[in-house]
Amino acid sequence: MVYTDYESQLAVLRSKGNYRSLSSRIPQGKYVIAEDRTLLNLSSNDYLGLASDPLLRQDFEAWVGKRSYPLSASSSRLLAGNYPVHRQVERQLATLFGREDALLFNSGYHANMGILPALANKRSLIVADRLVHASLIDGMRLANAPHIRFHHQDLDQLERILVKESPKYERIFIVTESLFSMDGDITDLTRLVALKRSYPRVLLYVDEAHAFGCRGSHGLGIAEEQGCIQDIDLLIGTFGKALASMGAFVVCSSLLREYLINTARPFIFSTALPPYQVAWTSFLLERLATWDDRRAHLATISHQLAQALCGEEKAMGATHILPWVLGDNATCLQVARELDEGDFYCLPIRTPTVPAGSARIRFSLSADMTEREIATLSSLIQHMHRL
């Protein structure tokens, strides 16, 4: 049979504890509903708890008023799908970040898969942290350029690579995440900026997908916290996580924006984001700086859960992404089942999402969770630690 090989590969995935299926559970705010049970959802990226806020939705409907935003762009932006609201949001982003310009993409995956292939060529070198997201790995694979991946957060190794390789190439792209999606750790962007200044051919590419909205005094991310927004050539963010919308963006120079419009294939050949959805994004961006209380509460419960996972000392500086690394798939699946029985929805993360032998539970916190809920989860984790 023509499908036999696929069947056998699925059987291998099952045998290794790597088989996945779509959940029939229904998301409902910070919970998921499973028949007669309600579980706290710790597998969502709704970091500020905005996605199901009914008052926010009512405010948006009043804000929209009689303005008409189509539910579909029905075309790419280069054809007939370029609505004024698309450019409005790009200008909002440029103003928020204090940069020349910005460009929208349909998703973070689209952005990361399209930008590097558009900008890099055989005379370029891409140097990326080994644990960058799959979308960046795919972007590197599609780019017509050599690439090197340095050990996670090993900026000394990165510098050795720059010393050796920079004379050989017209430009080098340093690629990283600011807040890593599976480990929850933060990159020293200020040191990357220092390296960039030491090597004039370097461009800095930073994915802020998991930090935009929920870090920084105005919610602009780790680059805002570390005071280096102006030094990042390509700053990527997404709207589908903390901002509770859809799509992604790159903040960059006007020249790079113009070049990407003409060369980034996911942008050129995709139907544009729905104008109504983009209007929702615009509405949220107007209010981004006002959610300090949500960001502060998110930091509080992040520290609270980190204490249960790794103790007070290591809890300092904890982020809203907290991994419990368990090692093998079987153990990870068993722990996920036990957490589920305690009414906590925490999906196991396995290869190829994380390296083999580092399967984990990834706790993804939201600002609409209470300290009491996190205390109950912490007690369960501590009990499981003792077993």
Residues 6+ apart with CB under 8 A from 4: none
Q: Which of the following is catalytic: 101, 183, 207, 231?
A: 207
Residue 210 a catalytic site member:
yes
Residue 151 a catalytic site member:
no
Write down the H helix ranges in the chain: 4-15, 54-64, 84-97, 108-119, 134-142, 155-165, 189-198, 222-225, 254-263, 265-268, 275-287, 292-310, 312-315, 329-341, 371-386
Q: Which of the following is catalytic: 45, 112, 245, 329?
A: 45
Residue 45 a catalytic site member:
yes
Q: Amino acid identity of 108?
A: G
Q: Please give the structure tokens belonging to residue 25.
A: 């559970």
Q: Which of the following is catalytic: 41, 44, 135, 181?
A: 181
359 has which bridge partners? Answer: 327
Q: Which of the following is catalytic: 196, 210, 297, 320?
A: 210
Q: How far apart are CA 151 and CA 136, in angstroms?
A: 16
Q: Which of the following is catalytic: 46, 101, 177, 208?
A: 177
Burial of 380 (0-12, 13-18, 19+ CB in 10 A): middle
Best CA proximity match to 103, nearest among 219, 277, 295, 236: 236
Q: Which of the following is catalytic: 30, 86, 133, 297?
A: 133
Beta carbons of 135 and 250 less than 8 angstroms apart: no
Burial of 322 (0-12, 13-18, 19+ CB in 10 A): buried
Give Cα separations from 206 to 104, 136, 143, 287 (angstroms). Answer: 16, 11, 17, 24
Q: Please give the structure tokens belonging to residue 270.
A: 């995709």
Residues 6+ apart with CB under 8 A from 213: 47, 48, 219, 221, 241, 242, 243, 288, 291
Residues 6+ apart with CB under 8 A from 243: 48, 50, 212, 213, 281, 284, 285, 288
Best CA proximity match to 128, nearest among 87, 157, 86: 157
Residue 207 a catalytic site member:
yes
Residue 181 a catalytic site member:
yes
141 has which bridge partners? Answer: none
- Backbone angle region of 311, left / alpha / beta, with phi > 0 → left and psi within -120 to 50 → alpha: left
Q: Which of the following is catalytic: 241, 302, 320, 368?
A: 241
Q: Please give the structure tokens belonging to residue 45.
A: 């990226």
Give catalytic residues, as residue numbers. Answer: 45, 133, 177, 181, 207, 210, 241
